[in-house]
Amino acid sequence: MIMSYYIAMFTISMLLMVCYLFLWHKHFDIHITLIFVLVPIANLGYALVAASESLEAALMGTKVAYIGGCYLTLILMLAVFALCFIEISRPVRLTLMTLCTLAFLCVLTIGKSPLYYESASIAKLDGATVLYKTYGPAHTAFIVMEIAYFTASLCAVIYCYLRKNQVSRKNLYLLFLTEVFAMICFFGGRTIAPQLEFLPIAYNLGLVVYLIIVYRLTLYDVTDTGMDSLLQTDETGFASFDYKFNYLGSNETAKSVFPEFREVAVDHPLASNEYLAATALPWLKAFVEDETQNEFIFERGEQSFKIIVHNLYSGNRKRGYQLFMVDDTTNQRYIKLLNTFNSDLQVEVQKKTNHIVEMHDNLIMSMAMMVESRDNSTGGHIRRTSQGVRLLVDQMRASGSHELSEEFCRDVIKAAPMHDLGKIAVDDAVLRKPGRFTPEEFEKMKTHSAEGARIVHEILRDTDDESFKRVAENVAHYHHERWDGSGYPDGLAGEGIPLEARIMAIADVYDALVSKRVYKEAMSFEKADAIIMDGMGSQFDKGLEDAYVAARPYLEEYYCSLD
């Protein structure tokens, strides 16, 4: 009966590991994968002990079980911390892993030294071998270490439940119950039945819980689910090639546009297919010569496709080229009609232009909101600051204190949502930190201004609207500069700071003051106003004071409407 129990526990853990392989995603936390590897190893060790016929074999099985036992609790703790978005520094992780390794080295002395087991003997019970041992001082240290890891995991779950609303409560419940059950099995099992190990049950229950969690995690990762959903649609085709124009693969949509992709073997030259050598290969070569030459129109039968060439990235590294293909039949028909019946199609052209502009604006807003979704402290910040800029500009135009063109007013309002795009380059550990930054973290956060200007420049590189591009880059780059020159990233002062960035600075700080963040409550309008007014001439442009004062009641009315 005992032997059957250990074999069953090992078999179940192997089946659960296979289930995890079917659910595995490259973005899963590495610690979860290690858990599904270590548990079967630990359970195998228990089964080997039960099946052993000699003390030496039983001790060897015990050492196999400790491969999992020495590291599992730490890996479980690190997995819990990762799921709770709690960062542990690399030196700390290295120190904890070293402690576990030292514990395992002590385990390896079993049978040779009294350091871990002072003595050990075996006996047969119900057809299985049971190992009886007297513990040494190193085992006591091991127990202390295990208790510390269990306690840290439980504290992390409780802290996350109380302080972080961006973590699934269901996942936290599951983690809490798993930790409690594991502690009961670890300590209580030895009291109830010393001859039987209850940890394999706890291990397998933990695997079941983590299977549920990883299945749910695939729904919470907006970036991954968004990309996976895009790849599953029939609207966009993708085909990838290395730097030697060897074919790497394509999705089904691309194969429907170019059935020739089915005939080309992976890693074979694109030129090996006559049709692709005459169509796709020239597009790639034109892109290599000049990366601005990256859009082409391809017609096949009655359909027209827009072909876009981009660099193929693996992480941050360029690894080759990629073709994107979208059915552009409708647009191409419009263009042909335009060439033939230009005067009759002016209205349709205007509609198309408006639609493209609207799509462009929506793309900008969507990108900004996607970046904002990574920052768990600034929900709604983009829309609120955009409205703040609009109200300030309205008052500046009404007072006539600044000679603002219609084009400038339009551009600065349109550019406002892009001011924090650079945060996409800030590490999650800093961006999502639920509290104030350390000096080192603040230095990392400050890079978002210059990075934002670079991203805006790349997004708008091919736009014909030079005025908007300049304003948008300035808003992203300089909205944290201060009138007295103590801001960042370039320490500009006075009128050396572009006007659009000075306007953005007031709206940005005002929103930060009167809005609730994870590390502070919303400030009253009166107190926020006092801070803004006190900053006129030092942090903010004194010349914008009148516009701010005039806009203040409208700002308060707007923020009250949000409540």
| pLDDT of amino acid 554 | 93
pLDDT per position as a tens digit, 366-418: 666 666 666 655 557 888 888 999 999 999 988 887 888 889 999 999 888 88
* Closest among 540, 442, 438, 434 to 483, alpha carbons compared: 540
| pLDDT of amino acid 221 | 47
| pLDDT of amino acid 15 | 92
Alpha helices in 400-438 (DSSP H): 406-415, 428-431
Cα within 13 Å of Cα(258), Cβ side? 30
Q: At what angle do helices 199-220 and 55-83 cross, to 10 degrees?
A: 30
As annotated, the residues of the chain forming the CATH 1.10.3210.10 domain(s) are: 355-562
| pLDDT of amino acid 78 | 84
Residues of the chain with pLDDT under 50: 219-230
- Alpha-carbon span 47 to 187, nearest angstrom: 20
pLDDT per position as a tens digit, 6-37: 889 889 989 988 888 887 766 677 878 888 88
On whether the CB atoms of residues 386 and 413 are closer than 8 A, the answer is yes
Pairing of strands 317-327, 236-242: antiparallel
- Alpha-carbon span 28 to 230, nearest angstrom: 20
SS3 251: coil
Pairing of strands 128-135, 117-125: antiparallel
Considering the domain delimited by 2-220, tell me its CATH architecture: Up-down Bundle (1.20)
As annotated, the residues of the chain forming the CATH 1.20.1070 domain(s) are: 2-220
CATH topology of domain 234-340: Beta-Lactamase (3.30.450)
- Alpha-carbon span 499 to 403, nearest angstrom: 11
The DSSP H or E segment spanning 387 is: helix 381-399
As annotated, the residues of the chain forming the CATH 3.30.450.20 domain(s) are: 234-340
Q: Is the pTM of this model over 0.95?
A: no
- Alpha-carbon span 428 to 374, nearest angstrom: 7
- At which residue do the structure tokens 């003997």 appear? 121
CATH topology of domain 355-562: Hypothetical protein af1432 (1.10.3210)
- Alpha-carbon span 406 to 395, nearest angstrom: 14
Taking the CA atoms of 82, 85, 89 and 90 in sequence, report the sign of the dihedral they define.
Answer: positive
| pLDDT of amino acid 222 | 41
Which structure tokens are listed for 129?
């071998």
| pLDDT of amino acid 500 | 93
The CA-based dihedral angle spanning residues 123, 126, 128, 131, taken in that order and rounded to the nearest 10 degrees: -40
Cα within 13 Å of Cα(478), Cβ side? 24
First to last CA, the chain: 64
- At which residue do the structure tokens 């090996």 appear? 272
| pLDDT of amino acid 283 | 92
